[in-house]
Amino acid sequence: MSFDAAIIGLGYVGLPLAQEASKVGVKVLGFDVNQGVVDDLNAGRSHVDDLSDADVAAMVEAGFHATTDSEQLAEVKTLVICVPTPLAEDGGPDLGPVNAAVATVAKHLQPGQTVILESTTYPGTTDEVVRPVLEAGGLTAGVDFHLAFSPERIDPGNEKFGAKNTPKVVGGHNEASGDAAAAFYGQFVDTVVRTKGTREAETAKLLENTYRHINIALVNEMARFCHDLGIDLWDVIEAAKTKPFGFQAFYPGPGVGGHCIPIDPNYLSYNVRSKLGYPFRFVELAQEINATMPAYVVGRAQNILNDDAKALRGSTVLLLGVTYKPNIADQRESPAVPLAKQLMERGAKVQYHDPMVTNWTAAGDGVEGVSDLNAAVAAADLTILVQNHKSYDIDALAEASQRFFDTRGAAHDSEKAERL
């Protein structure tokens, strides 16, 4: 079978993209270095929250095929790189996965192909990192092959917006490259938004998530002083968001998690420091505030137990929800990890319950999973709502608990509940 496009990296970004393309008749080759992922997909088994086994089976029926054989990349017209870019130890992006993917593409690059990078990174990556590797074989970007950047905007678990109806930002190395990339996405995405170039497209993604990062930090800091002043911040937000213009509601929490908010703004901050020699102060302050929220939650937990004449050391603390957002199994950068570790460092016995996670080891072996939720809530000295999954009846759980600390503003009717 011949293929029209290859999606390189079949995770939370690449697989939904492949699904939408397959729906309109684009023959998609999925490439991944993980043989287990490839075998599961070809057998109709999904490994991401947003696609069911039936969804993957329908893709296979439509002609989708996954492989670890990079030789097949030479046979497609469009190649889209969707590999992760985690943070490196120095605070910048770890481009290891991107570099590996680009090297693989370069080995098989053919004249007339279009290469699109979707992996989130710092401005200039497409031109300064990707292009030289692809051109090393003698072909020229914008002449012999097209090169573009189109930031991924996948929001796992979002039931309203997916790959099809989320506008697709596209920036080409030149106009012809932008045209080619826009034509590819235009087959299955409702709206394509063009930028002047790759750097603008790269920076647009970072601006989106930096905006959220900073505003989350704002309400996290407000949560602290509102508590000290006896002000119900959750009520404040509900009142403020009735304004039909000029305000968007953000909510405090035990920390930020996921594949974007804790990571992407740091790419921009790193880029500013490394290239311009001065700090991006808003981002760095926001990172400082958000990163200290787990410690703040631990301090509040200790105070709640003190009110019951209990010490944190020796108390049983039950964490409800350990994923980074509700109703999905994704645990990337979940604030539950530093929260659990800091509780254990202070001598607490930490347990967890999560309907989406059967085996949680991210915080170490000292955290015990519980299967009987009601019994665990009744027995724990303190129950902390970390992630509000829809299967939780928060008010009932709060009422059944000895003490309940709600970091998501979901409990309303119990005197035993204290909100962040």
As annotated, the active-site residues are 260
Q: Which of 279, 232, 277, 233 is nearest to 252 (CA)?
A: 233
Burial class of residue 60 in the structure, from the number of CB atoms within 10 Å of its CB (0-12 exposed, 13-18 middle, 19+ buried): middle
Q: Which of 123, 43, 38 is nearest to 72 (CA)?
A: 38
Q: 115 by DSSP, 3-state: which? A: strand
Separation of alpha carbons 117 and 98, rounded Å: 9
Separation of alpha carbons 208 and 220, rounded Å: 19
Burial class of residue 108 in the structure, from the number of CB atoms within 10 Å of its CB (0-12 exposed, 13-18 middle, 19+ buried): middle
What's the length of the chain?
Answer: 420
List the structure tokens of 276.
């311009």
Separation of alpha carbons 313 and 344, rounded Å: 8
List the structure tokens of 163.
């790959």
Q: Are strands 404-406 and 417-419 parallel, antiparallel or unpaired?
A: parallel
Separation of alpha carbons 256 and 309, rounded Å: 31
List the structure tokens of 89.
């130890």
Residue indicated by tokens 């213009």: 245
- Give the side-chain half-sphere CA count within 13 A for 398: 21
**Amino acid symbol at 23:** K
**Amino acid symbol at 308:** D
Separation of alpha carbons 375 and 233, rounded Å: 31
What's the DSSP call for residue 293?
Answer: H
Q: Are strands 192-194 and 146-149 parallel, antiparallel or unpaired?
A: unpaired
Query: What backbone phi and psi angles, to 5 degrees, belong to 281?
Result: -65, -35
What's the DSSP call for residue 71?
Answer: G
At a CB cut-off of 8 Å and minimum separation 6, what does 357 contact?
322, 323, 329, 331
